[in-house]
Amino acid sequence: MKTTITLFVVLVTTGLCFAQPANDNCASATVLTIGTQDCSGTTNGASLQAGECYTNYGGGSTEHSVWYRVTALNDSLVFSIAKTNSTNCASPHVSIYGPFTPGGGCQPACASQIYNQLHNGDPGVHVLQTGLSVGSDYLIQVVDLDCGGPNDGHVEFCAGVYEPVANNTVSGAEGIDECGVTYNGTNIGYYPTNGATGLENLDGNAGTTCPTCTAGDDVSYVVNNDSWFFFCATTTGDWSVDFNNITNCTNSTLNDGLQMTIFTGTPSNLTQVWNSLNPSQPGSSQTSSTFTVNAGQCVYMVVDGFAGDQCDYSYTLNNITTTCDLLPLPSELSEFIAYSLGSKNILRWRTDSEQNSSHFTVERSQDGIDWSTISTVTAAGASSHSISYAVEDRGPKELNYYRLTQFDLDGTNNWSIIRSVDNSVEAKEIIKTLNAFGQEVDANYSGIIIHLYSDGSTEKTFQ
């Protein structure tokens, strides 16, 4: 069964001089362990090795590269770069190669390159990569260029691997069921909701717009790595949110901190009610303006990194004119994730425990109103340990809402949760599939493939 991982690379600066890094050659690439960071990375003193495949900056011998290796325990990863020092030239240039036999794959051929991008915008860049071969190795190459000038001619960074989380989108928001309690969060391992950095339409609704935004955009800042939370009130009252304890940021002091926005509405219809300071820098503490929530209404909160920063933070929900009367959260469901993978959508969920459970139904809707069942999955029935489930939707539409419902043995349903996947980019026809040598292949071919789509775009992946 396929799973997911998150690759996370963060750049930090010390301004010191170093000897040649041990991972200067991909044969000695630093091995990344899921859930930890290696902050000893530097390109200072590194060089380009003979036979290395890379995109030429035009700098010749003044370019440097270092290498990392990760085993894909999962079919998707999010890799992130967050440069914190000022370099003389646009950098770093990041490439990912694979899949390789564990421990092998050096020197990588250019045909094995599945990602290649010069990161010359915000310091923090976070990208989802799908279609990985589970159990295989992938090599990550970080290249810079010293072209002379007053700033550093190299980059320094942390590298880490993390698993993705469900609350990376508004439809997967993490629930809050207590008031006056400090919740701790982090936006490490997240990527842009819609898969591309920008002033985003976070709810997929062109008819909702923040007061200072262009049509369709829900926030007035660039979204790089957003995390989401929500609560729903059972009685009408006034509320506020404390946003503080911002610490452990990875960007430099000129680009560090977070940004937070509060909305009322639904995942597909968000109305902005408050913005935090932008950026909200480490050590800052602020309380939102007071806002009214009607009985049965839900509030959604997004926390994003300023310029792609990654920080820890805290938030507290305050009830002002009413008791803390919130809709209860499901006690057994720990995770429900929906995401696209090539031409299909993957739906995964996990229960921490089960008692008298009968089955699950997965339904799909294009408007969130009319639903049709696409799969029924038998439940474990009784369990005191975590159990994972998965379903594939091989015929998704452009915009898909998925409703997961658990039924007990007596026919009653315990909970029902909705997620959404926007396949508008993926909703295009594959007209031809080629291998790395340009030869047309079918669905039985194993190896690097290139899909040619009806809109003229291409996609390289591993089959």
Tens digit of pLDDT for each residue in 156-187?
777 777 777 778 888 778 888 789 999 998 88
Same domain, 92 and 141: yes
Q: Is residue 72 part of a domain?
A: yes
Q: Is residue 105 part of a domain?
A: yes
- pLDDT (mean) for 277-299: 92
- Candidate ranges 39-48, 87-96, 257-266, 399-408; pick with highest mean pLDDT: 257-266
Residue type at position 289: S
pLDDT at 241: 97
Nearest of 199, 459, 243, 208 to residue 343 by alpha carbon:
459
pLDDT at 219: 92
Identify the domain containing residue 404 by its residue range: 338-422
* Whole-prediction pTM: 0.69
Collect all residues with Cβ–Cβ distance below 8 Å to 214 and sequence separation of at least 6. Answer: 199
258 alpha-carbon distance from chain centroid? 16
In whole angstroms, give the CA distance from residue 257 to residue 249. 7
Q: How confident is the model at residue 304 (pLDDT cuts 50, 70, 90)?
A: very high
- Our CA dihedral for 147, 150, 154, 156, rounded to 10 degrees, sits at -160
pLDDT at 445: 62
Burial 44-81, CB ≥16 within 10 A → b, else e: bebbbeeebebeebebeebbbbbbbbbbbbbbbbbbbb
More confident residue, 210 or 164: 210
- pLDDT (mean) for 284-310: 92
**Secondary structure letter of residue 170 according to DSSP:** G
Same domain, 74 and 113: yes
Same domain, 402 and 443: no
Collect all residues with Cβ–Cβ distance below 8 Å to 211 and sequence separation of at least 6. Answer: 272
Q: Is residue 328 part of a domain?
A: no
The pLDDT of residue 328 is above 70: no
pLDDT at 14: 39
- Choosing from 289, 319, 349, the residue where a domain stops is 319
Residue 386 sits in a domain of what CATH number?
Answer: 2.60.40.10
- pLDDT (mean) for 204-225: 88
Question: Alpha carbon of 119 to those of 1, 132, 221, 254, 337: distances in Å?
Answer: 33, 22, 19, 18, 29
* 377 contacts 351 by C-beta, under 8 angstroms: no
pLDDT at 319: 92
Q: How confident is the model at residue 325 (pLDDT cuts 50, 70, 90)?
A: confident
pLDDT at 147: 73
Angle CA(90)–CA(47)–CA(253) in degrees, nearest 5?
40
pLDDT at 206: 86
